[in-house]
Amino acid sequence: MDMSENIGRHLAELVAFRRDLHAHPELKYEEHRTSDRVAQALRALGLEVHRGLAGTGVVGTLRGRGPRAGDPSRAILLRADMDALPVQESNTFEHASTQPGRMHACGHDGHTAMLLLGAARVLAENPDFDGTVHFVFQPAEEGGAGARKMIEEGLFDLFPVEAAFALHNWPALPAGEFGVRVGPIMAAANRFEIRVNGRGAHAAQPHTGIDPIPVACAIVSQLQLLVSRGSDPLDSAVLTVGVIEAGTIENIIPARAVIKGTCRTLLPETQARLVDGIERIATHVAAAHMASAEVIVKNGYPPTINHPLEARFMADVMAELVGEDQVERDVPPAMTSEDFGFMLEAVPGAYGFIGNGGVSHSCENLHNAGYDFNDDILGLGVTFWAQLTRRWFSRDR
């Protein structure tokens, strides 16, 4: 069977499905309509469907034709995310969001369409591979750690796999190109809050209180040294204070100041060092000025670290489809973060980029109110997933 023809036959439907998802965005853990549509479509293709992991999560299982298709150790997981963002869409095209303040601004509508109506359908129509594929549609990638929740609720116990793969559209790469790399491809992200406790006083009598404002300012300036002086210049790290709050009026020294920020790194050990450093600097700088500081670190996502064999395999599949020139095998990592990192902590696998930019599609950046997934890349994405599956199960081990 000619796969490109097969995809071509479905392409109009695939575009319509993607645009329908775009018009009906749902926020993290509320992807009920999307989850229903995904489950229905998987059932219609004859896949076994499991629902309920992390609430709206859906897993569709497709067994190939080969003798090892029933062997649970010969299975892979392909993952798409389903959730949208709390953004007011500025686009005015026909498939723009119908939901005020909600938008598919990260292209998860495209990821779901490519994997579902695309790859699942093409492979279900011709399951000429010797193994099992679990198509995973996860909720809450955007800040809700849906991947972690699915794992905690038994994803890999119910669906053991030898490898997991995911693909994100990437506006910085032109359509028709791919990127991947061995090692970290997205950063770990933690949020932190520092509460500086002093003692309130009249603004004219500072010696009777402990002013938390200069203490907070000293902490913010000292935190800058953690990256600029404490980190290997070749090991990317960023620490940003995005909020500093204190006081109500100019003639009162407040009792408390609050600092909030985020730190992002590509390596877990760097992340641990920054978190330790934030705690150490905040408490000691506060103590030096007779104030105190409480530090609360909200653990975010781990770095997304690609495993070498799976990342190289993914790059080979990409190169086979579009040619070596169109594949960045050492694409620069991004300091954004991604909860697929939790899956790559649990099983081997890789996460890659599919170019979303292009001549006919001037793509805004991810999370921008003017962003849209580029429908021109749907067919390529489908072919990628189908090819990856066939190659994985036919490779020499």
Q: Which residues bind Zn ion (CB under 5 A)?
A: 106
d(CA 371, CA 335): 19
Enter the tokens of residue 212.
């938390």
CB 105 to Zn ion: min, Å: 7
Q: Which is nearer to Zn ion, 208 or 365 (CB)?
A: 365
Strand order in the sheet with 256-265: 237-246, 256-265, 188-197, 292-301
In terms of CB distance, is 106 or 259 closer to Zn ion? 106
Of 203, 95, 97, 167, nearest in space to 353 by CA: 167
Minimum Å gap between C-beta 332 and Zn ion is 17
Vertex 53 angle, CA 51 and 58, to 5° = 40
Q: What is the CA radius of gyration of the chain?
A: 24
Closest distance of CB 140 from Zn ion, Å: 11
Q: How far is the CB of 83 from Zn ion (least distance, A)?
A: 9
Sort residue 349 into left (φ over 0), alpha (ψ -120 to 50) or beta. left
In order of 19, 191, 237, 241, 325, the CA distances from 274 in angstroms are: 42, 11, 9, 13, 38
Smallest distance from the beta carbon of 198 to Zn ion, in angstroms? 38
Q: Taking the complex as a whole, how short is the minimal distance between the CB of residue 367 and Zn ion, in angstroms?
A: 6
DSSP label at residue 236: -
Q: Which is nearer to Zn ion, 107 or 212 (CB)?
A: 107
Return the number of the residue (112 or 271) whose C-beta is nearest Zn ion.
112
**CA-to-CA distance for 258 and 215, rounded, in angstroms?**
11
Closest of 71, 56, 257, 25 to residue 144, by C-alpha: 56
Q: How far is the CB of 379 from Zn ion (least distance, A)?
A: 21
Report how far residue 196's alpha carbon sits from residue 251's, in angstroms, rounded to the nearest whole number. 19
Q: How far is the CB of 165 from Zn ion (least distance, A)?
A: 15
135 vs 170 by CB, closer to Zn ion: 170
Amino acid identity for residue 310 in this structure = E
Residues in Cβ contact with 2 at an 8 Å cutoff, skipping those fewer than 6 apart: none
Q: Give 21-65 as a DSSP string.
A: HHHS---TT--HHHHHHHHHHHHHTT-EEEE-TTTT-EEEEEE-S
Q: Which two tokens stand for residue 108?
A: 């998860």
Q: How far is the CB of 116 from Zn ion (least distance, A)?
A: 16
- Which C-beta is closer to Zn ion: that of 138 or that of 190? 138
The residue with its CB nearest to Zn ion is: 106
In sequence order, which residues have a C-beta less than 8 Å from that of residue 26 and are 6 or more positions away? Answer: 32, 33, 34, 82, 83, 84, 99, 102
> Which residues fall within 8 angstroms of residue 341, CB to CB, at 6 or more apart?
147, 186, 188, 301, 302, 303, 304, 305
Q: Which is nearer to Zn ion, 75 or 106 (CB)?
A: 106
Q: How far is the CB of 57 from Zn ion (least distance, A)?
A: 16
Place of tokens 């996502």: 301
